[in-house]
Amino acid sequence: MSVLVDADTRVLVQGITGHQGTVHTRQMQLFGTKVVAGATPGKGGATVEGVPVFDSVERAVRATSANASVIFVPAPFAKDALVEAVDAGIPLAVVVTEHIPFHDMLSMYHYARLRGARIIGPNCPGIAAPGKAKVGIIPNVVFHPGRVGVVSRSGTLTYEIVSGIKEHGLGQSTCIGLGGDPVVGTNFVDALSLFEEDPDTDVVVMVGEIGGTAEEEGADYIRAHFTKPVVAYVAGRSAPPGKRMGHAGAIIARGRGTAASKLAALEGAGAKVASFPYEIPGLVAERLQELTNR
């Protein structure tokens, strides 16, 4: 089992005829993902990497039974693309696009929730279940099937940490890149609740960064509801007071969202907190060994 995507996931690529859509369609196929359709208005009837292209998402879903979408549409049109996917009945939309206007994402978030759809992102690397499916842009080579769940706000740190877990002789059940914008469709609490219910995830790695309160909220959930071991890392510990990182969501205000507050919350919830990314694989191995010794 995995979280949100599996071997039956049938992916539609919105914006497949653009450079990024084409490149990552090929990479998703190499990962083993079933990419069944693309959608670009005016390009219906074409093929990209052997994938049929349709003029609309509705036609693509009707023809191929696609049940997940990855959006490579430019920011000004991302809201319309997401609404089109939700209206076509797609339950999972991964929005890779960055620089989406704040109010567009607010509208997208509530519209998707109203229609029973889940958004991953925006400004995210996507989601991957090794050996099953990948929806997004996370590099293929960093993965190995295993029992470690990973959820992260940072794209590049996700790749580094997942690769380290693999090099340590371990593997991942599912990796979820949440995205770094102020409003995202899936947060730490959402992801942790999914991993809690996944019988193939034994340990979860949670990667946060300064700004916002998502990590503190995740810590509250761990303390109250999460029964599996957690290893955590928070980027930005050495940032000057009030400094924001590159992500739009990394805004510190009125003493909240600092690395210190997040670290204290996670440690208070029982998570093992790494000081540096390279420590994470060893801490994961320790938590897995503790489970074996129980």
> Where do the domains of the chain lie, and which CATH numbers do they carry?
10-120 (3.40.50.720), 138-293 (3.40.50.261)
Query: What pLDDT score was predicted for residue 253?
Result: 53
Query: What pLDDT score was predicted for residue 168?
Result: 95
253 vs 215: CA distance, rounded Å: 15
Q: Which residues are catalytic?
A: 247
Per-residue pLDDT of the chain (294 residues; tens, 9 = 90+): 689 999 999 999 999 999 999 999 999 999 999 999 999 999 999 999 999 999 999 999 999 999 999 999 999 999 999 999 999 999 999 999 999 999 999 999 999 999 999 999 999 999 999 999 999 999 999 999 999 999 999 888 999 999 999 999 999 999 999 998 889 999 999 999 999 999 999 999 999 998 889 999 999 999 999 999 999 999 877 655 555 555 555 555 555 568 889 999 999 999 999 999 999 999 999 999 999 887
Query: What pLDDT score was predicted for residue 276?
Result: 94
